[in-house]
């Protein structure tokens, strides 16, 4: 590829790894993908990672992507980071982390979240202000946990960043976030487009500790610092975009804007399972996160903690391959191995019921798939209702779901979602939609063009349509009955 051609880098800094996509900015062709792992530590609800490892992994992944793409470093013109949401990075006077980051799936902050939710007028007021009611995942609850359990670190904190903010600052030297990722903190007002001073007062947080909010994740915030350019092996002239959260970047990669009341509902099967849709409305409902999209429109979302990792754990326990599953039949599994977020059951454990002497282990694994898929699809119904749509109405029930994430490449996942949803599915042909969405943000920072329009032109969200199959109402109703009966116990 000639040096005159523009290559952009989209980084997906997720819970488990950093992935860097080298993308032709003109065509959207994925030239190469670099990867480097992250380490997650903790037990008994704790989930932490060292942000320094995120930086090292990002640099390694970018170098690999550029090398394997076979392009000169001088052809790289822009970079953007999409990061795992909610995590708390507390910085010290030297601008480096004081302690490991508290991750989104760290449930130790559940008591703090519950206490916060009762303040400032209660849950309805939180929804009006921030779009979401505090749960253990959100940054405000994690900051409150740090204040209560590690006051020495809270007192020494001179800056607070989300994971993608921290990496963007390492790249550009600029402390900045975007509306999308900021909306996952519960101290950013989606109604006002600014930090909520009452929430900041409630959690004892000086707004000077927070990054500025750029108009969008595609905003150009600077170029690479000399240190970052050396670490990545790229020119200092590379434009750095503000970046965004991983879910918001996936929406960009799918070409989702806010063009209508509801744009192509999405089910994402990854470490966590999420359901979301782009909309110009500002829906608010209990159990959903009323996120902003990175362009300032809205991305209402439901998130489950237990998705592919939980099902894979069942496969390991049963000694089966992850694809060696059968319909659960009488077996019901609620795979809440790490507590749960939607529904809000942070202290829950997994539950298996309906076993007999003759139960096929493959049916137990299949029931784990069903339990995880049920949780996400029920959250999708709540999302649709919050947007003013009847989930059971024919025109809504017939609307295709876009199935993305690592699980979307698995037969068992795909067939389980088809069976329990009764909907047609579109599985985009492109992999790494978070990184591709970040690449579109990077290209936009270089050219000033609309990132959603770019991703649409690249065709990254297109794929084959899988026709619907009859909805498995019997399995759906069986799981719903078990969850209703078990919820009082799971709440303990």
The full DSSP string for 130-170 is HSS---TTSHHHHHHHHHHH-HHHHHH--EEE-HHHHHHHH
98-108 per-position pLDDT tens digit: 999 999 999 99
Question: Under a CB-based contact definition with an 8 Å cutoff, are residues 297 and 266 in contact?
Answer: no
**8-state DSSP, 100:** P
**pLDDT value at 353 more than 70:** yes
According to DSSP, the residues that pair with 278 across neighbouring strands are 263
What pLDDT is attached to residue 258? 47
**Percent of the chain residues topping a pLDDT of 70:** 97
Active site annotation includes 390: no
**Percent of the chain residues topping a pLDDT of 90:** 81
Mean of all residue pLDDT scores within the chain: 93
Question: Under a CB-based contact definition with an 8 Å cutoff, are residues 155 and 180 in contact?
Answer: no
- Of the ranges 4-18, 202-216, 298-312, the best mean pLDDT one: 202-216
Q: Which one, of 282, 286, 83, lies nearest residue 190 by Cα?
A: 282
293-306 per-position pLDDT tens digit: 998 788 988 888 89
Structure tokens at 365: 């694994």
What pLDDT is attached to residue 262? 55
Spatial distance between the Cα atoms of 429 and 461, rounded to a whole number of angstroms: 7
- The residue among 297 and 411 whose pLDDT is bigger is 411
Going 399 to 404 to 409 to 410, the CA torsion angle's sign is: negative
Cα dihedral: 290, 437, 416, 397 (round 10)? 60
What pLDDT is attached to residue 492? 61
Structure tokens at 243: 């970046």
What pLDDT is attached to residue 2? 46
Spatial distance between the Cα atoms of 486 and 375, rounded to a whole number of angstroms: 14
What pLDDT is attached to residue 259? 47
Spatial distance between the Cα atoms of 264 and 477, rounded to a whole number of angstroms: 26
- Mean local confidence (pLDDT), 388-413: 88
Spatial distance between the Cα atoms of 308 and 204, rounded to a whole number of angstroms: 37
Give the containing element (helix H, strand E) for 310. Answer: helix 308-318
Residues ≥6 apart with Cβ < 8 Å to 61: 11, 17, 18, 19, 20, 34, 35, 36
- The residue among 117 and 385 whose pLDDT is bigger is 117
- Mean local confidence (pLDDT), 76-92: 97
- The residue among 295 and 80 whose pLDDT is bigger is 80
**pLDDT value at 1 more than 60:** no
What pLDDT is attached to residue 260? 44
Confidence of residue 491 (pLDDT cuts 50, 70, 90): low
| Helix (H/G/I), strand (E/B), else coil: 57 | helix
227-258 per-position pLDDT tens digit: 999 999 999 999 999 999 999 999 999 988 74
Question: Under a CB-based contact definition with an 8 Å cutoff, are residues 433 and 439 in contact?
Answer: no
- Reading phi first (left if > 0) and then psi (alpha if -120 to 50, else beta), residue 448 is in left
| Helix (H/G/I), strand (E/B), else coil: 336 | coil
**pLDDT value at 396 more than 90:** no
Confidence of residue 444 (pLDDT cuts 50, 70, 90): very high
Spatial distance between the Cα atoms of 424 and 394, rounded to a whole number of angstroms: 13
- Mean local confidence (pLDDT), 356-377: 97
Domains of the chain: residue spans and CATH: 7-247 (3.30.420.40)
What pLDDT is attached to residue 51? 98
Residues present in the chain in total: 492
- Mean local confidence (pLDDT), 275-292: 83
Residue of 246, 344, 381, 472 marked catalytic = 246
């Amino acid at each position: 590829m000639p040096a005159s051609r523009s290559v952009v880098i989209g980084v997906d800094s997720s819970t488990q790894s950093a992935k860097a996509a080298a993308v032709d900015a003109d065509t959207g062709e994925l030239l190469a993908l670099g990867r480097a792992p992250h380490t997650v530590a903790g037990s008994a609800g704790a989930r932490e990672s060292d942000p320094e490892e995120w930086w090292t992994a990002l640099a390694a992944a970018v170098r690999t992507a550029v090398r394997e793409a076979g392009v000169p470093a001088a052809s790289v013109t822009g970079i953007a980071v999409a990061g795992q949401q909610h995590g708390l990075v507390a910085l010290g006077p030297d601008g480096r982390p004081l302690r490991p980051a508290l991750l989104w799936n760290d449930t130790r902050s559940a008591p703090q979240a519950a206490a916060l939710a009762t303040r400032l007028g209660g849950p309805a007021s939180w929804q009006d202000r921030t779009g979401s009611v505090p749960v253990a995942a959100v940054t405000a609850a994690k900051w409150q946990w740090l204040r209560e359990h590690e006051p020495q670190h809270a007192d020494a904190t001179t800056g607070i960043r989300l994971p993608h903010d921290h990496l963007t600052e390492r790249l550009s030297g600029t402390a900045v976030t975007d509306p999308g990722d900021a909306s996952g903190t519960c101290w950013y007002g989606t109604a006002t487009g600014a930090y909520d001073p009452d929430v900041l007062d409630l959690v004892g947080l000086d707004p000077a500790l927070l990054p500025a909010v750029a108009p969008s994740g595609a905003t150009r915030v600077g170029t690479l610092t000399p240190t970052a350019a050396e670490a990545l092996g790229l020119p200092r002239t590379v434009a750095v975009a503000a970046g965004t959260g991983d879910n918001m970047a996936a929406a960009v990669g799918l070409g989702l804007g806010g063009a209508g009341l509801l744009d192509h509902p999405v089910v994402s099967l990854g470490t966590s399972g999420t359901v979301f849709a782009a909309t110009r409305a500002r829906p608010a409902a209990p159990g959903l996160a009323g996120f902003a999209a990175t362009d300032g429109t809205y991305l209402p979302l439901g998130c489950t903690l237990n998705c592919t990792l939980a099902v894979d754990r069942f496969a390991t326990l049963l000694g089966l391959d992850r694809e060696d599953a059968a319909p659960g039949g009488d077996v019901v599994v609620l795979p809440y191995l790490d507590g749960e977020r939607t529904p809000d059951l942070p202290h829950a454990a997994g539950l298996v019921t309906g076993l007999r002497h003759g139960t096929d282990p493959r049916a137990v694994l299949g029931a784990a798939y069903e339990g995880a898929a049920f949780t996400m699809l029920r959250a999708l119904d709540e999302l649709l209702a919050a947007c003013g749509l009847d989930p059971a109405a024919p025109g809504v029930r017939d609307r295709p779901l876009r199935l993305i994430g690592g699980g979307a490449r698995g037969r068992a996942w795909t067939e389980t979602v088809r069976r329990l949803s009764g909907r047609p599915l579109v599985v985009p042909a492109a992999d790494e939609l978070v990184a591709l969405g970040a690449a579109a943000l990077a290209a936009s920072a270089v050219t000033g063009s609309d990132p959603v329009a770019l991703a649409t032109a690249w065709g990254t969200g297109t794929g084959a349509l899988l026709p619907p199959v009859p909805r498995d109402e019997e399995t759906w109703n069986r799981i719903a009955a078990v969850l209703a009966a078990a919820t009082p116990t799971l709440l303990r």
